[in-house]
Structure formats: structure tokens, C-alpha cells
Amino acid sequence: MTDASQVLTRTFRSDDGPLAYQDAGSGTPLVLLHGGFTDHTMWRDLVPALTAAGHRVIAPDARGHGASANASKPFRFTDDLAALLRHLDTGPAVLVGMSMGGATAVDTALEHPDLVRALVVSGVGTSEPEYTDPWTKDSVARYYGTLMSGDIEGWLDVVGEAVAGPYRTVEDVDPDVVRRVREMSRATALKHTAGETDWHVPVTDTWARAAGITAPTLAVNGALDAPDLIAMAERLVGTVATKGHTLTIEGVGHYPNMEQPETFTTHLLDWLELHP
């Protein structure tokens, strides 16, 4: 097995600074895409079992996150990912993404379909979210409100609440998971300054275009995640051309890969056996 903490973090030179990633194991490539304001270490508990099962595991830090460079000109996360996979001369790959990472995976299936073998998303539909649930709308408003105001400690409180979700308190969640998410979030937030230019260019018309995705698609949701996020993931698997599949992990929220990494890994590997 590969201990993720012992894997060297590498960088490659993009057209706008270095982007960081880890690359371990050999076999069918699995690309693990982290959520917003976290980094590749959120997947560390899955790497040993995935590499032992015969997969090459690639875990990048998205631009502006972790050890990757901030943007200084317009960019798209999907294009950065495509550049990395082409740099590594790998693909098509299985893209596994939670939250923002899942959105990047879907965008890549739309924009660079030759690089995508299969899609696995968690707590997300496409990169164009639609919020209707009061808890989610309030949480998103406070998340960006505290962040934009520079109230980092208040923002980290909201981050903890997002880990717990609408049905639990932060005290109900494994404190190590909450600590790790907050530490990753703080480190990424400190890479940025209030009022800086947002260079990210969104992919558009994603819901309509998702009907053309032919890659096998799986959604793995935490049962205690926000209803909007679960609904968007279920909408995605019902929209793609292949009509995907949904699995639910009980007792966890928005970070099922961190709260129950063994269960998440088992579901992923079992599904991949059916979609080689």
C-alpha cells in the first residue's frame, strides 16, 4: 500500500505558474479532485487502498488552492486539469470529485471528453448550482459574506457548520475531520487577499449539455448532506446519456470521503469493477 503522506508533491509548469499534484501507484488512472478551499490531502485516507487495488492515483491541488499558484489571468479549472493529464500523458481517466472537484470533473467531461473514462461525483451536480433549500441558501450567503468581509474566524465557523450539514451540530462530527477541513480552508484562504480579481471563467450551459455525457457516472452522497446538494447529484446521474447510479453513505454529510473513507473506497472500487 502507498502511504499518501510519503508521496512526493510535484509541480508542473502551466501557462500561469506551477500547479501541484501527487501521483502514486500504477494502473488505471484515478484523478481525485478536492472541494473548494481544501486541497489534495482531503483524499489521503483513500490512496493506500486505491493504489493497492491497482490504480494510478493522481491528486492535484486546484489553482489557487494548496500548493498551486494563484491565477494572474483568466483560467478554467477544467483546462488546468486537462493540461495536467496531458503533461502526464495519461487519460482517459476516472475523475472522482467532491463538491467543487466534482463540478470540475463534469466540466471536463463536457470540455475535454477524450480525457474522461468515467465520472464519480459527491455532493454536487454541475458547476452551475441551483439552491432552493433555506438552510443551503443561508449557509452559502454566510459563507461568502464572512469570507469577503475578511472575517476568517467567522468564516471558519461556517466551514465547520458546512461539514456538519443541516441535521447535526459541529460537535456531532469527528473533531479530526472538522480540524482538517478548517486547516485546509485557512491555508487556502491565506493565499488570497480581500478584493483580489477573480480570474475564474465559468463553463456555461452545463445542465443542458450534461445530457450528452456518455461516460459512466456515479454519485456518492452523504445522507446528512444538504438536500439541495444531494438533489443536484441525483439530477446529474438522471441527466447524463448513460443514466448513472447513486449511492448513499449513512451518517455522514458533505465530506463522506473523509468521514467514512473505507466505505467510500469500497463503493468506488465495487462500482469500478462493473465499469472497467
4-131+198-274 CATH fold: Rossmann fold (3.40.50)
As given in the structure block, the three cell numbers for residue 176 are 479530526
- The pLDDT, as a whole number, for residue 194 is 80
Q: Look at residues 273, 260, 276 and name the one whose alpha carbon lies nearest to residue 46.
A: 260
- The pLDDT, as a whole number, for residue 268 is 98
The region, left, alpha or beta by phi > 0 then psi within -120 to 50, assigned to residue 167 is alpha
Alpha-carbon distances of 221 from 87, 93, 94, rounded to whole Å: 31, 21, 18
Ranges of residues in the chain with a pLDDT under 70 are: 1-5
Cα–chain center distance at 243: 21
Angle at 202 (CA atoms; ends 201, 205), nearest 5 degrees = 145
Handedness of CA 56, 243, 255, 83 (dihedral sign): positive
- pTM value? 0.96
- The pLDDT, as a whole number, for residue 7 is 78
Around Cβ 264, how many Cβ atoms within 10 Å? 27
- The pLDDT, as a whole number, for residue 1 is 56
Instruction: Identify whether the C-beta of residue 192 lies closer than 8 Å to the C-beta of residue 70.
Output: yes
Give the integer Cα–Cα distance in Å for 8 and 258.
Answer: 21
Beta bridge partners, 221, equal 248
- The pLDDT, as a whole number, for residue 214 is 96
Residue 192: HSE in the Cβ half-sphere, 13 Å Cα cutoff: 24
Question: What burial letters (b/e) apply to 125-135, b meaning 16+ CB within 10 Å?
Answer: bbbbeebeeee
- The pLDDT, as a whole number, for residue 112 is 98
- The pLDDT, as a whole number, for residue 138 is 94
- The pLDDT, as a whole number, for residue 96 is 98
Give the integer Cα–Cα distance in Å for 59 and 94.
Answer: 12
CB within 8 Å of 90: residues ≥ 6 apart: 29, 56, 58
